[in-house]
Amino acid sequence: MKTKQRENTKAEGKYEKVRMTFDELQEKEIPIIWSIIDFSSNIPLSIYTDSTVVKTSETCYRGSMISEESRLIGEEYLLNAKKSSIDISLPIGTFSYSSLAPRASLSFRHYFEEEIHKQNRAIKLPQYSNVTVPIGAVIRSRRSIRTFSGEKLSMKELSTVLYYGDGVSGFFDHNPMGSFETTESLGDDYVSAVRCAPSGGGLYPIYLYLVILNVDGLEKGTYRYMPLTHSLEIVRVYDDKDIEEYLSFTNLGREIDMDKVGVAIYYVYNIYENSRKYDDMGLQFAMIEAGEISENIHLICTAENLASCDVGGFEKAQTEQFFGIDSLTEHIIHLTLVAKR
Ligand SMILES: Cc1cc2nc3c(=O)[nH]c(=O)nc-3n(C[C@H](O)[C@H](O)[C@H](O)COP(=O)(O)O)c2cc1C
């Protein structure tokens, strides 16, 4: 009863003095207060950082000013990205990569998708739902949901999630002034497809790999979303052993039951598809773009009453191997689960 009363006053923003003994203070209050001070104090340096056997994130943090060995890779990255205004490599790269090149490089994607269709390795997705729920209410009510009913997603729901996540929603003319000549090889079409989520330079270096687990009308397996034709490439249909293998290394915590997931959406970044233009900024852009796609997915799931949850705890190397991607040019950078509530 007493605790409840105190919770209420806290919720109202009122705090009362509470009498306690020194032992109670030491036992109950000091450890948590100390951990907050420790976490929030600026840089708690440690001279033991380099002699610690396991390089934890905490040892890197404590050694950040004095250690040469225990650096976070992220710190190295940020220290070396956009070093100063006299480092002109990025502007040169960006400037010299004209808009013709993206147009040309993106046309290969069309050929790639057409080829998959010709080989009968594509599944056309049905028309997505025309979602008209008010955006403000959707943004406010979005939550990460980790408990699922285990019911199957419909193909239409999958189509809707993928379309609003990363589907083609318009076209961009790279030649509005008509300054590029018509050529025999490229014709006069300098228009490229643009998507629901933004992408630096319109280069779209992120590919959505799907582990389909519970979708009505689709066999369990690895698929790849093809935005230009709004369809799926069948990468591999699983047998029982494949499913067992996938689930054996995909343990995403106690709360998440993978058997009930509809689709696990992996964001695979192809580093050379935007780093040629953006140098090391390419990585930064890819991370941002993955976030933009995933937020689109969360919002559309909220609007469609589906569950979605981002997951940072996936097994990167094992999943890449399982997908058959090379882990050099292509890397999984994020994962979102989608399921029926
Ligand atoms: C990059 C990223 C990684 C995440 N990883 C996990 C995860 O591994 N497991 C999990 O249950 N939730 C994960 N989440 C979800 C967060 O826990 C969640 O967004 C946060 O607690 C805020 O709750 P909300 O999304 O309901 O607003 C992740 C979120 C992001 C953005």
pLDDT single digits (tens) 215-250: 999 999 999 999 999 999 999 999 999 999 999 999
Contacts of 233 (CB under 8 A, 6+ apart): 113, 116, 121, 122, 223, 224, 225, 226
- Ligand 1 pocket check for 170: Cβ under 6 Å: no
Which backbone phi and psi does 260 adopt, to 5 degrees?
-100, 0
Instruction: Give pLDDT tens digits for 58-70.
Output: 888 888 778 877 7
Residue partners of 323: CB distance under 8 A and separation at least 6: 209, 222, 235, 266, 268, 332
Q: Which two tokens stand for residue 191?
A: 């228009």
C-alpha of residue 38 to centroid of ligand 1, in Å: 24
Residue 9 CA: distances (Å) to CA of 6, 12, 32, 312: 5, 5, 21, 36
Token representation of residue 159 = 């189509």
The Å distance, Cα 236 to ligand 1 centre, comes to: 29
pLDDT at site 104: 65
Instruction: Decide the pairing of beta strands 330-340 and 306-310.
Output: antiparallel
Segment 85-108, tens digit of pLDDT: 777 777 887 877 766 666 666 767
CB atoms near residue 207 (< 10 Å): 20
**Mean of the pLDDT values across residues 69-83?**
84
Query: Token digits for 31?
Result: 């450890």
The pLDDT-based confidence of 48 (bands split at 50, 70, 90) is: confident
Q: How far is the CA of 169 from the centre of ligand 1 (A)?
A: 28
Query: What φ, ψ does residue 164 adopt, rounded to 5°?
Result: -70, -25
At 39, the pLDDT band (50, 70, 90 cuts) reads confident
Whether 312 lines ligand 1, by a CB cut-off of 6 Å, is yes
- The better pLDDT of the pair 9, 216 is held by 216
Q: Find the 305 Cα to ligand 1 centroid distance in Å.
A: 18
- 256 Cα nearest atom in ligand 1: 11
Atom 17 (ligand 1): residue with closest C-alpha? 144
The whole-angstrom separation of Cα 340 and Cα 153 is 6
CB-side exposure of 171: number of CA atoms within 13 Å?
Answer: 8
Q: Is 50 exceeded by the pLDDT of residue 3?
A: no
Confidence of residue 2 (pLDDT cuts 50, 70, 90): very low
Angle between helices 155-166 and 281-303 (to 10 degrees): 140
Is pTM, for the whole model, over 0.85?
yes
Q: Is the CB of residue 253 less than 8 Å from the CB of residue 313? A: yes
Please report how the helices 240-249 and 316-323 are oriented relative to each other, as an axis angle in degrees rounded to 10.
160
Supply the pLDDT for residue 137: 97
- pLDDT above 70: residue 11: no
Gap between the Cα atoms of 284 and 275, Å rounded: 10
The whole-angstrom separation of Cα 199 and Cα 289 is 6
Distance between Cα 222 and ligand 1 center (Å):
24
- Confidence (pLDDT) at 184: 77
E strand residue ranges, the chain: 122-124, 168-173, 191-195, 206-212, 221-226, 231-237, 263-270, 306-310, 330-340
Average pLDDT over residues 319-331: 97
Q: What is the mean pLDDT of the chain?
A: 89
Identity of the amino acid at 94: T
Nearest to 210 by CA among 237, 229, 228: 237
In the chain, % of residues over pLDDT 70:
92
Encode pLDDT of 244-294 as tens digits: 999 999 988 888 999 999 999 999 999 998 998 888 899 999 999 999 999
* From 19-28, 257-266, 322-331, the region with the lowest mean pLDDT: 19-28
Candidate of 138, 145, 265, 311 to mutate for ligand 1, largest count of ligand atoms within 8 Å of Cβ: 311
Q: Which atom of ligand 1 is nearest to the CA of 143?
A: 26
* Closest by Cα among 160, 270, 286 to 215: 160
Q: In order of start, what are the domains of the chain with their CATH numbers?
A: 23-80 (no CATH), 122-340 (3.40.109.10)
Q: How remote is the CA of residue 263 from the centroid of ligand 1, in Å? A: 17
